């Protein structure tokens, strides 16, 4: 989970995935914790939430231990900052480091303002990530937290769950 207001939908997504029988492990960027608390996600997933790159409870490295036995990595919301880090290989937080470590499909659910989504650099990052093999769901057009309607709204949790199922079943 990354730091955008759409992070609240990630709690619903987590719950829906668990209810569908998925074993969910949650990793969050520091900015994500400004939008949604780790206790909520720990309760919904039934597991501790990882937020730090360096954690004594993961002696091999948090990103290495979390990446072990992952079948699908979902990033929701995937902010413009996160898309940039993934597209350029910049690993400066747990989620971007985890991305470089996983050997499974990656599903990204972008969420940002319409002006951000329309920027050429964001479009280039998305194109690069598609070329790199990442899967996308959304974004949608609709009401945004900046009090306007436009493109950039994160897909609804059920749509992300369905996209995850589709990617996983390929």
Q: Which residues are catalytic?
A: 146
SS3 154: coil
Q: CA torsion angle for 151, 45, 90, 63 (degrees, to 10)?
A: -170
Query: CA angle, 107 as apex, 106 and 110 as ends, to 5°?
Result: 130
Instruction: For 134-152, give one letter per residue: b (16+ CB within 10 A) or e.
Output: bbbbbbbeeebeeeeebbb
| Residue 112: both structure tokens together | 């940002």
| Residue 153: both structure tokens together | 């709204």
Cα dist from 147 to 74, 84, 113, 138, 143, whole Å: 27, 25, 10, 19, 7
**Structural contact between residues 129 and 104, judged by C-beta atoms closer than 8 angstroms:** no
């Amino acid at each position: 989970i990354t730091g955008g207001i759409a992070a609240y939908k990630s709690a619903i997504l987590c719950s829906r995935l668990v209810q569908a029988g998925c074993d969910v492990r949650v990793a969050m960027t520091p900015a994500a914790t400004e939008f949604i608390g780790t206790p909520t996600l720990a309760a919904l997933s039934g597991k501790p939430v990882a937020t730090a790159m360096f954690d004594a409870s993961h002696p091999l490295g948090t990103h290495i231990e979390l990446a072990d036995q992952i079948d699908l990595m979902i990033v929701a919301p995937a902010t413009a900052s996160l898309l940039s880090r993934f597209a350029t290989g910049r690993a400066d937080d747990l989620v971007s480091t985890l991305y470089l470590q996983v050997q499974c499909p990656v599903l990204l659910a972008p969420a940002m303002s319409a002006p951000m989504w329309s920027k050429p650099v964001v479009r280039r990052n998305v194109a690069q990530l598609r070329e790199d093999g990442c899967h996308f769901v959304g974004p949608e057009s609709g009401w945004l937290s900046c009090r306007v309607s436009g493109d950039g709204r994160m897909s609804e949790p059920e749509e992300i769950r369905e996209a995850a199922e589709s990617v996983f079943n390929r």
